[in-house]
Amino acid sequence: MSHINTHSEENRLREEISEIGRAFRQLGMAPGTSGNISAKCEGGWLMTPTNASLGALDPAEISMLDWDGNLLSGKPPTKESFLHRAFYESREEAGGVIHLHSTYASAVSCLRGLDERSCLPPITPYFVMRVGRLPLLPYFQPGDPAMGAAVREYAPDYSAVLLANHGPVVAGKTLEAARNAIEELEETARLFLLLKDQQINTLDESQIEGLRQQFGARW
């Protein structure tokens, strides 16, 4: 019975990854073959394949990997799988990880003068609660494994990072939580760019402390 349940859960996650990929494409958050999605499951983790459009994923072709990196089923995984593995190995509670080249967050990642401790200020309570501080990582060439090592340094303390001139990587306790967080991050990046030349009222420390106490926000 446990084997059947395990297989059923894996299939459910494959379908969920495909549905989320389609939603990101419809929202304009996953152009071309950019972005990748993963989820932890029994015996390993599921990862979107290399050169795959998130808007046209075949659930059966999604890569299944063990924790040694061996491909168990599906097509070969994205070359950026080490970004996801860094979060899984550093945050035991992580159940899903998403990396996108979404427009507004990627635009922020190209700006000069960002606060490297958190690229986005606490504009809204939802950003503070769902994402938290967003540290800026240096630029790495696409596919450079050093990106994974850089993410691993931050992952124990942060659930999201922004790769310079690239885009965000977000982990959540579940795949749905990661999805909600990265959509909130994208919306906050959009607000930040809209307000960039204005004086912004950000949440003060007492307001943030209230979110910590009532919602467990990490800021």
Classify domain 2-215 at the CATH class level.
alpha beta
Those residues with Cβ within 8 angstroms of residue 158's Cβ, 6 or more apart along the chain or in another chain: 132, 133, 134, 135
The string of pLDDT tens digits covering residues 7-42 is: 799 999 999 999 999 999 999 999 999 999 999 998
The string of pLDDT tens digits covering residues 191-217 is: 999 998 899 999 999 999 999 999 999
Kindly list the domain boundaries of the chain, sorted by start residue: 2-215
Q: Which of 203, 218, 114, 217 is nearest to 158 (CA)?
A: 218
Average pLDDT, the chain: 94
**pLDDT above 60 (res 4):** no
What pLDDT does 6 receive? 61
What pLDDT does 2 receive? 37
**Percent of residues, the chain, with pLDDT higher than 90:** 92
How would residue 1 be classed by pLDDT, with cut points 50, 70 and 90?
very low
So which residues are the catalytic ones?
80, 126
Those residues with Cβ within 8 angstroms of residue 166's Cβ, 6 or more apart along the chain or in another chain: 101, 106, 109, 139, 140, 142
What pLDDT does 3 receive? 41
When pLDDT is averaged across residues 112-136 and rounded to a whole number, the result is: 96
**pLDDT above 60 (res 5):** no
The string of pLDDT tens digits covering residues 139-190 is: 999 889 999 999 999 999 999 999 999 999 999 999 999 999 999 999 999 9
Tokens standing for residue 186: 């994208």
CA-CA distance, 114 to 139, in Å (whole number)? 14
Evaluate whether 192 touches 202 at the Cβ level (below 8 Å): no
Q: Crossing angle for the helix pair 2-26 and 175-194, nearest 10 degrees?
A: 20
Evaluate whether 58 touches 46 at the Cβ level (below 8 Å): no
